[in-house]
Amino acid sequence: MAARARAGRGGGAGAGGRGAARAPRGARAAAAAAKRVCLLPGDGIGPEISAVAVEVLEAAGRLEGAEFAFSEAPVGGAAIDAAGEPLPASTLEACRASDAVLLAAIGGYKWDTLPAKERPERGLLALRAGLDCFANLRPAYVLPQLADASSLKSEVVSGVDIMVVRELVGGIYFGEPRGFGEDAATGARTGFNTMVYTEPEIERIARVAFDIAQKRQGRLVSVDKSNVLEVSQLWREVVSRIGADAGNAGVDLSHMYVDNAAMQLIRNPKQFDTVVTGNIFGDILSDAAAMLTGSIGMLPSASISESGPGVYEPVHGSAPDIAGQDRANPLAMVLSAAMMCRYGLDLPGVADRMEAAVSLVLDQGFRTGDIMQEGKQEVGCKRMGEALLAALEEANVKA
């Protein structure tokens, strides 16, 4: 199935539904300055939260003089239904032809009985691999309005603002050899994996991390297990070498063992600014850091590549239990779109406006069901979208 494309309301032009994000010649010229975003609404609540994110992006873009040209393509279960596979070639092509990919969520009951290799989730892995997204960025910040939602004391978590930079395509999840065998001495069954990193793999993730740290508070903690693992000794050596580059002089680099990092995240999370680590440690630590915030409906993420488009998506899944009921929280999706503007499209002003609007609607007391608190106003996905648009205007008038 061909990807669909449509013009952004901010004046950006896209293709007229003729496949893979290609615009007619004239329209392409008119949209020269427009950022090309490939939208993958996916399944479940995906289309609902995508609609809100697109409206908020376009409105924030208009206020900053930025334009977006959206194309849209199926992924996950929607793509299985439409094209028989979770990541059709036309979808990958549309993503590659864009400046950034904005993905909602995939999966649902309907496809749960398919064999693992044919399930919607495969589409996600294939997308990240197809775009060579090797760096996963997972912010964990506690909005003051929601500090009570954390399972930790609010004085421990309020003000937390951490970015975990995780290597995504290497390490023990991909290392060879791997498999099952037999212990030579006892004949007992064994299972084994290989934790391996090459110097260039460490160098490129380290460069991303230093770059991000520079855009944040300039403090970078590299997490490893170099007291036990040779792969971590190389990791530490290479990260330190990249840290010594003249361009990274402004970043304060320190190292921490992963067991201590896990403890410190719970004990005193405010000490962290940016964290860089390998695939398996990052998998675990980013989930732990995310849970400091207390709400899955609020968490964005990004997976970025060396030079091509990155994938920006909420951490949560497709929430099939509430799909189509106007009950989804669109804020993680909106914050993912803001990350896309900051890290993928070089539009920090648009990102600032979107993040400020999220903060303002929470100040105003709007809450979807998943983050509802006593005395606040419960709203659905659409109403939250309207509140965000009003908040963008209100903040603009005050500014």
Q: Which of residues 107 and 282 has its CB atom nearest to ligand NAD in the complex?
A: 107
Binding to ligand NAD in span 340-379, by CB under 6 A: 368, 370
Q: Which of 326, 269, 242 has the alpha carbon at shortest distance from 52?
A: 326
Give the CA angle between residues 308, 76, 118 to the nearest 5°.
110
- Contact criterion met (CB below 8 Å) for 67 and 11: yes
Measured in degrees and rounded to the nearest 5, phi and psi for residue 101 equal -115, 125
Say which of 99, 224, 273, 283 is annotated catalytic.
283
Residue 326 within binding range of ligand NAD, rule CB under 6 A: no
Q: Which of residues 322 and 362 has its CB atom nearest to ligand NAD in the complex?
A: 322
Bridge partner residues of 68 (DSSP): 35
DSSP summary character for residue 340: I
**C-alpha atoms less than 13 angstroms from C-alpha of 312 in its C-beta half-sphere:** 29
Binding to ligand NAD in span 122-151, by CB under 6 A: 124
Q: Which of 65, 52, 18 has the alpha carbon at shortest distance from 333?
A: 52
Residue 329 within binding range of ligand NAD, rule CB under 6 A: yes
Residue 310 within binding range of ligand NAD, rule CB under 6 A: no
SS3 26: helix
CB-based burial label for 238 (10 Å; 0-12, 13-18, 19+)? buried
Binding to ligand NAD in span 14-73, by CB under 6 A: 45
DSSP summary character for residue 149: G
Residue 319 within binding range of ligand NAD, rule CB under 6 A: yes
Say which of 110, 132, 161, 173 is annotated catalytic.
173
Residue of 306, 321, 363, 393 that binds ligand NAD (CB under 6 A): 321
- Contact criterion met (CB below 8 Å) for 76 and 107: yes
Residue 121 within binding range of ligand NAD, rule CB under 6 A: yes
| Interface segment toward ligand NAD; rule CB under 6 A; list 58-66, 159-167, 260-268, 322-330 | 322-330
DSSP per position, 41-70 = EESTTHHHHHHHHHHHHHHHHHHHT--EEE
Residue of 86, 297, 300, 344 that binds ligand NAD (CB under 6 A): 297
Shortest Å distance, C-beta 48 to ligand NAD: 9
Q: Which of residues 134 and 235 has its CB atom nearest to ligand NAD in the complex?
A: 134
Judge whether 43 counts as a catalytic residue. no
Residues that bind ligand NAD (CB under 6 A): 45, 105-108, 121, 124, 296-297, 313, 316-322, 328-329, 332, 368, 370
Residues marked active site are found at: 173, 225, 259, 283, 287
